């Protein structure tokens, strides 16, 4: 399969992750609450995992892409193009939500809130930076570790999207009140672009700490499961079905 097809699949998947999750928060958040928004994000990942996941592996998240690469389950040459595709897809998804929100019956000001991530004054429940660091690292670790587990030989075929979607939902339940639940630098960038202000000044936080969580998950998986040498034939973009690892 062409690399361009994989990149486009990541654009599409990340677009619908942001459109579905952020759209639910911005357009229907008052009615849905944390439960509904968490389910919207989880369902977006679950459905896209089965729609475009067979093409690209269904990362939709730079932290997962980096975790896969660190674990040796993803070709390093594809990391940067995947992240670029995810950022583009996320920004387009946020743009679509913004266009809908600003053309409603009531006035809408993205600067007053666009489902952005934050700590301190931007935390939904007033949690500080320390709480945000712990929350984002652990939650992204768990999400990435779940995604990595679906690539192992013993994982039941066909259930990967369900596991990752449910894990994302669970982690949003837990840390939604803390940081509005990033777990994904592309998701944070997408909303910060339109909200601006403090959301942009805190953006570094939601790039750095989800990536740390994803990389730690990759290192853990590498220690637990990766003992084979690098094999170009086994190192497919989707996963390492033969159990080989993508390391040089």
pLDDT above 80: residue 235? no
CATH superfamily, domain at 3-104+114-225 = Glycerol uptake facilitator protein. (1.20.1080.10)
Per the structure block, which two tokens stand in for 6? 């994989």
pTM: 0.89
pLDDT score for 107: 84
- What are the backbone angles phi and psi of residue 230, rounded to the nearest 5°? -60, 135
For 121-172, the pLDDT digits (tens) are 999 999 999 999 999 999 999 999 999 999 888 888 889 999 999 999 999 9
Q: Where are the domains of the chain?
A: 3-104+114-225
Secondary structure class of 146 (helix, strand, coil): helix
For 93-124, the pLDDT digits (tens) are 999 999 999 998 688 889 989 999 999 999 99
pLDDT above 60: residue 16? yes
Distance between CA atoms of 228 and 84, rounded to whole angstroms? 29
Distance between CA atoms of 170 and 42, rounded to whole angstroms? 9
Helices (H), the chain: 3-51, 53-56, 62-71, 79-101, 129-149, 160-179, 185-195, 198-201, 203-225
pLDDT above 60: residue 228? no
pLDDT above 70: residue 242? no
B/e letters for 183-200, b = 16+ CB within 10 Å, e = fewer, are bbbbbbbbbbbbbeebbe
* Length reported for the chain: 248
Secondary structure class of 245 (helix, strand, coil): strand
pLDDT score for 201: 97
């Amino acid at each position: 399969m062409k690399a361009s097809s994989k990149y486009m699949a990541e654009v599409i998947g990340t677009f619908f992750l942001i459109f579905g999750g952020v759209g639910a928060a911005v357009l229907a958040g008052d009615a849905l609450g944390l439960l509904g928004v968490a389910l919207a994000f989880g369902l977006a990942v679950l459905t896209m995992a089965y729609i475009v996941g067979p093409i690209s592996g269904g990362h939709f998240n730079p932290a997962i892409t980096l975790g896969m690469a660190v674990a040796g389950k993803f070709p390093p040459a594809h990391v940067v193009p995947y992240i670029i595709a995810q950022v583009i897809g996320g920004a387009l998804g946020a743009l679509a939500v913004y266009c809908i929100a600003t053309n409603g019956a009531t006035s809408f000001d993205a600067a007053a809130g666009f489902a952005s991530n934050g700590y301190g004054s931007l935390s939904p429940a007033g949690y500080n930076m320390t709480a945000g660091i712990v929350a984002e690292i652990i939650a992204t670790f768990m999400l990435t570790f779940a995604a990595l587990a679906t690539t192992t030989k013993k994982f039941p075929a066909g259930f990967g999207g369900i596991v990752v979607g449910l894990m994302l939902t669970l982690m949003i339940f837990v840390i939604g009140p803390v940081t509005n639940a990033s777990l994904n630098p592309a998701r944070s960038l997408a909303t910060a672009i339109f909200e601006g202000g403090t959301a942009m000044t805190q953006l570094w936080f939601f790039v750095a700490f989800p990536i740390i969580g994803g990389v730690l998950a990759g290192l853990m998986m590498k220690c637990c499961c990766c003992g084979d040498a690098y094999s170009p034939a086994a190192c497919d973009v989707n996963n390492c079905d033969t159990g080989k690892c993508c390391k040089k």
